[in-house]
Amino acid sequence: MTVPSTAAPAVDITGLTVRFQSKRTQTVAVDDVTMRVAPGEFVTIVGPSGCGKSTLLKIVAGLVAPTSGTVSLMGRPVTGAQKEIGYVFQRAALLDWRGARKNILLQAEIRGMDRRQAARRADELIELTGLTGFEDALPHELSGGMQQRVALCRALLHQPSVLLMDEPFGALDALTREQLNAELNRIWRETGTTILLVTHSIAEAVFLATRVEVMSPRPGRIMRTIDVDLPAERDYAKVMSDQRFDRYATEIRGLLGAGANH
């Protein structure tokens, strides 16, 4: 999928540096990162542990302040926590005593959304993610993959302009992860949401992305940007056997070194 280069950035990061100061030392987590994400793009960030991938997402969300550089979201400077984004973490973080639908609607309660509109939106997302029939199931009654579907629905309930995803499928088994990758590709195509996803998995990074940003070991810098020339609609078996997929994965693996997960 090619996004027009004339589109105003959904996420605009320029010259971003982040330093963390402790009593004994100063750590540069991210160094001079510039990245622009157009509306509707699906950008994945891959790199070794500790390179600042998650820090980058937190800065876009306004949860961490940069030491220097600028960040804007939909044309507005990020100066604090951003309400218009959605955020999905590695763990679903569901409330044990609430069923799937009520966990999704927690977002509406926190944001003060119109109840009827939120209920309709929740039902649409439940159908979209294959959770129909599990609306009242408690988290312990759901598999890990289904819990992440609930978390994804919750993050999409308010129709965010940008969805941030931090290793959302990292704790799942390989088969479930593949299934959710395919599901996420379909949801992205159907909703048109701009997505910025962090992962350690090279295969996941390439399968999902319109573009992969490869980060160096700490201090995290963008080593290379790889545009992914694959069809927007991605069948897992077909993509994995595509020579272009293999070429992209081999290039990223070479950049990150033999120790990278894939």
Distance of CA 199 to the CA centre of its chain: 8
Tokens (6 digits) for 79: 């100066």
Which residue segments constitute the domains of the chain, with CATH numbers given? Answer: 11-84+160-256 (3.40.50.300), 94-159 (no CATH)
Instruction: Tell me what pLDDT residue 7 has.
Output: 64
For residue 219, cis peptide bond before it (omega within 30 degrees of 0): yes
Q: Which residues of 32-65 are buried (b: 16+ CB within 10 A; e: fewer)?
A: ebebbbbbbbbbbbbbbeebbbbbbbbbbbbebe
Exposure string for 68-100, b = 16+ CB within 10 A, e = fewer: ebebbbbeeebeeebeebbbbbbebebeeebbb
Confidence of residue 83 (pLDDT cuts 50, 70, 90): confident
Three-state SS letters, 43-91? EEEECCCCCCHHHHHHHHCCCCCCCEEEEEECCEECCCCCCCEEEECCC
Which pair of structure tokens corresponds to residue 48? 């070794």
pLDDT digits (tens, 9 = 90+) for 24-69: 888 888 999 999 999 999 999 999 988 889 999 999 999 999 999 9
Tokens of 142: 């759901």
Amino acid symbol at 182: A
Measured distance CA(118)–CA(95) in Å, rounded: 18
In whole angstroms, what is the distance from residue 38 CA to residue 11 CA? 7
In angstroms, the Cα distances linking 227 to 163, 196, 249 are 20, 14, 12
Question: Which pLDDT value is given to residue 262?
Answer: 41
Looking at per-residue pLDDT, the higher value among 7 and 228 belongs to 228
Average pLDDT over residues 196-225: 94
Contact 247, 215 (CB under 8 A): no
Element (H, E) at 254: helix 243-256
| 141-155: pLDDT as tens digits | 999 999 999 999 999
Identify the band that residue 17 occupies on the pLDDT scale cut at 50, 70 and 90.
Answer: very high
Whether residue 23 is predicted with pLDDT greater than 50 in this model: the reply is yes
Pairing, β 162-166 against β 194-199: parallel
The DSSP call for residue 5 is T
Give the single-character DSSP code of 227: E
Among 86, 111, 102, 109, residue whose Cα is nearest residue 139: 102
DSSP states of 121-185 as a string?
Answer: HHHHHHHHTT-TT-TT--GGGS-HHHHHHHHHHHHHTT--SEEEEESTTTTS-HHHHHHHHHHHH
